[in-house]
Amino acid sequence: MLFEPTVGGDVAVCLVYPNTYPVGMANLGFQAVFEILSCHPRVRCERAFLPDRDDQDREVVSFESGRPLRDFELVAFSISFESDYLHVVEILVGAGITPLRDGRTGGPLLVAGGPATFLNPEPIADFFDLFLIGEGEEMIPEFLARYVGARDAGGGRAGVLDAAAEVAGAYRPDRYTIDYAADGTIQSVSYRGPGAGVVQRRLIADLDRFPTASKVLAPEAVFGDMYLVEASRGCEWGCRFCAAGYMYRPIRSRSVETLRAAAAEGLAVRPTIGLVGAEMASVPGVAELCEFIADRGGRPSPSSLKADVISRRLATALGRSATHSVTVAPEAGSERMRRVINKNLTEPEILRAADWLVGSGVRAMKLYFMIGLPTETHEDVVGIVELTKKIRARFQRDGRVQRLTLSINPFGPKPWTPLQWEPMEDLRSLKGKIEYLRREIGRLPRVTCDVESPREAYYATLLSRGDRRVARLLLAIHAADGDWWRVVQDRRRNAGDGGVDPDFYVGRAYAVDEILPWDFIDHALHKRFLWVERTRAYEERQTAPCDVTTCRLCGAC
C-alpha cells in the first residue's frame, strides 16, 4: 500500500466494490475511499468484492481477514456502474444479510455512494440505510465524525443513523414515500424529516487539495501495469448524452505541478502513468505533462482524447513515449449527428488529429461511436463507415500503424443529461444497424469492430432510469440465478409482483412535466436548462463549451 492505514481502530468498516477484485482495484474512486476510511483514527477498514463465479456458493467475507460481512459495524458500498446493482443483491445474500431494508432488524448499517448513486439511487434505495451523494473527500470525514460522536454518546443504531443523516449530501430513503399514479408515473414524493428533503450533491471545489492516484498496486487488477492519476473531474464540452459531463459540473482540473508530482511518484513504481478524466486533451498542461513523463522514460496513457483539441505537441509527446494506442471518441459519423449531440467536432478536425497521431508514431486508435441517438437516420449510420474509411486511409500511409478498433455502443438515456427524457431505440432496429456496421466494417482490412449488445444497453437503461419498484425486479433476477433477460421478458409480458413493464423505463419518452425518480437530488443544474439543451438538439444547434468564469446558465457555477 502507498499509504499507512490505521491499526486497531474500534469502528469496523468493510468497504465493498460490487464486482470482482480485478475490476474493483482498477477503480480509482474505490481506492480513494479506501484511503479516506483507512486513515481515520477510529476506523479499521477492510475490503470485500464479488466472489469469482467459481466461488459464488461461498459466504462473502472480507479480503483482509476473512471476516463475515454481517459482523462489521458498517458495510459501505462504492458503486460506479448501474450494471453492478444486481451484484449488490448477490453480495448481501451471500453475506447472510437480508437485502430489503424493511426486512432487517439488526446487523451492520448499510451505506452506499459512488457515481451511479449520484445520478439515481432509487433502483437500490430499498436496500440501503443511507446514501452519500457526491464526492467523498470532505463528506466521508464529516459522516464519520457524526457517526462516531453519536456512537460514543450511546445513541444506538437509530441514533447514529439520525446523526449521520444530518451530513450535507446524505440521503436517507426511509424518510421518503413515493406514490404512483394509475399510469405508473410518480404522482407525489412525501418527505418526513428535518429540512426540505432535497439532497445536495457534494462537490470538491479545489482538486489540488486532494491528490487522487493509485493507493494500492494490484498486478491482478485491470490496468494493473499502470499507476493511475486523476487529472480532472467533469468535462467542458457538454455532450448531451454524457452523464459525467453534467453530474460533475463545473469542470475542475488539477494543476500541472500537482500532476507532475503525482506522475513522478508513480514512475518510481510503474513505467506507465494512466491519466484519468472524462476527456484528457482539454486538461491544461496535458502536453507538458506527457513530455515530463516521456523525458523520464515513462509512458503516458491518457483516457479518451477529443480530436479537435489534440495538439501537435501532445501527439508528438505520445508518439515518442511509445504510446502505441490512443482512444478518440467521434461518437457519431455525420456532422449533422454531432451537432445534435453537441460534440463540437468536425470531420476535418478528426482527420487532422489522425494525421498528427499517426505521424508521431501512434500505431493504433480506438474510436468510440454511438448508434440509436435521437433523430438518427440511416445516412448517419453510413457516416460511421465513411469516417472510418477516411481515418483508415491515414493509417495506410504509414506502415507502422497496426490496427483500428471501433467500439459501437447503443445510446441509452442517462439521468441529469439533456437527453434524459428520450426513449431508447427499439432493439430490433438497433440490431439491424449493428448488422449493417459489422458487414461494412468487416470489409476493411486491419479494422475490428466491438459492439455492445442492445440487450445489455436495454438493461443498463432500465437500471439508470428506474424508480424504487426496480428493486423487486433485481430480487427476481437474483432468484432466477442472474438470468435478467428471462425476467425482463417475463415482466414485459406480465408486470405482476407489484412491478411495471420494464419498457416503461426504457422505451418510453418521459414527459417534460413528469416527476422524475431522481428529481429530489440537487445537482445545481437547472432542469429548464437541460430541457432547453434537449430542444437545441432537435434544432441541430450546438452550445459553446463551458466558460466557468462568466457563464451562469446551467446553475452549476
Q: Is pLDDT of 497 > 80?
A: no
Residues 229 and 353 in one domain: yes
Are 166 and 194 in contact by the 8 Å Cβ rule? The answer is yes
In a domain, 384, yes or no: yes
The residue type at 479:
A
Write down which residue in 179, 200, 221 finishes a domain.
200
Tens digit of pLDDT for each residue in 138-175? 999 999 999 999 999 998 899 999 999 999 999 999 99
Q: Is pLDDT of 552 > 90?
A: no
3-state secondary structure of 456: helix
Residues 305 and 286 in one domain: yes
In a domain, 218, yes or no: yes
The residue type at 377:
T
Write down which residue in 387, 410, 433 finishes a domain.
410
State the pLDDT confidence band at 498, using cuts at 50, 70 and 90. low
Are 139 and 169 in contact by the 8 Å Cβ rule? The answer is yes
In a domain, 495, yes or no: no
Alpha carbon separation from 272 to 49, 203, 210, 301 (Å, rounded)? 26, 29, 22, 7
Q: What is the mean pLDDT of residues 320-333?
A: 87
Residues 152 and 181 in one domain: yes
Write down which residue in 367, 392, 410 finishes a domain.
410
Greatest Cα-to-Cα distance within the chain, rounded to the nearest angstrom: 73
Q: Which residue has the cell 428535518?
A: 194
Tens digit of pLDDT for each residue in 120-146? 999 999 999 999 999 999 999 999 999
* Residues, the chain: 557
For the chain, how many structural domains are there in total? 2
Residues 212 and 195 in one domain: no
DSSP characters for 59-85? PPB-TTT--BGGGSSEEEEE---GGGH
In a domain, 15, yes or no: yes
The residue type at 103:
G
Residues 348 and 390 in one domain: yes
At a CB cut-off of 8 Å and minimum separation 6, what does 330 contact? 307, 338, 343, 345, 350, 367, 368, 369, 387
Residues 169 and 261 in one domain: no
State the pLDDT confidence band at 496, using cuts at 50, 70 and 90. low
Residues 150 and 241 in one domain: no
In a domain, 255, yes or no: yes
Q: Domain residues for 226?
A: 207-410
**Distance of alpha carbon 432 from the chain centroid:** 28
CATH number of the domain bearing residue 299: 3.80.30.20
Of all residues in the chain, the percent with pLDDT exceeding 90 is 84
Residues 240 and 331 in one domain: yes
Helix (H) or strand (E) holding 493, with range, is helix 484-493
Instruction: Give 93's DSSP letter.
Output: H
Q: Which of 550, 518, 512 is nearest to 532 (CA)?
A: 512
Residues 163 and 264 in one domain: no
In a domain, 451, yes or no: no
The residue type at 497:
D
Residues 90 and 220 in one domain: no
Tens digit of pLDDT for each residue in 386-410? 999 999 988 776 655 568 999 999 9
pTM of the predicted protein model = 0.95
State the helix-helix crossing angle for 427-441 and 454-465, rounded to 10 degrees.
140
The H-assigned helical ranges of 2-114 are 21-24, 28-38, 85-94
Tens digit of pLDDT for each residue in 234-262? 999 999 999 999 999 999 999 999 999 99
Residues 187 and 214 in one domain: no
What's the pLDDT score for residue 224? 86
Residues 236 and 275 in one domain: yes
In a domain, 36, yes or no: yes
In a domain, 439, yes or no: no
